[in-house]
Structure 1
Amino acid sequence: MKEKLNKDVERVQSALQEHLAAIVQSSDDTIISKSMDGIIIYWNVGAERIFNYSSKEIVKQYKKEHKY
């Protein structure tokens, strides 16, 4: 019984994580995430539209290298 409950909880958590990721990705707002040492690790579609850099161009770059 406990094992089934744990699997159910994991399934719900996974679905929620996917749902939230879809919201962040599709947001018109700029959402940028960077590591503690300043490397950009996430750049959503809103950031692409506002700053004119694609995610492929900007991810793994240092934030200070770009003026946005």
Structure 2
Amino acid sequence: MAQKLHPQARRLRTIIVTVPIMGATALVLYERLVLGKPQRTLPRPNRDEVPKEPKILAEAAEKIGEPEPRV
């Protein structure tokens, strides 16, 4: 198990971890609010392009529905 850090070292570690996160967040918010950049979104496929049932699941369902051969 790791040794416990001195309180001053814990504060320094917290600062080192949080300052870059805060800086990146502030930059993104500045670009959105001041520069008017749109929010990034993930592309969504059209409903026509998405198959109703994936091929692998359809094949598995067929196998489950078939009775096992008896020997």
Higher relative contact order (CA 8 A, sep 6+): 1
Q: Where on the TM-score scale, by shorter chain, does this alignment land: which range?
A: 0.3 to 0.5
TM-score by length of 1: 0.38
TM-score by length of 2: 0.37
The answer to which structure has the higher strand fraction is 1
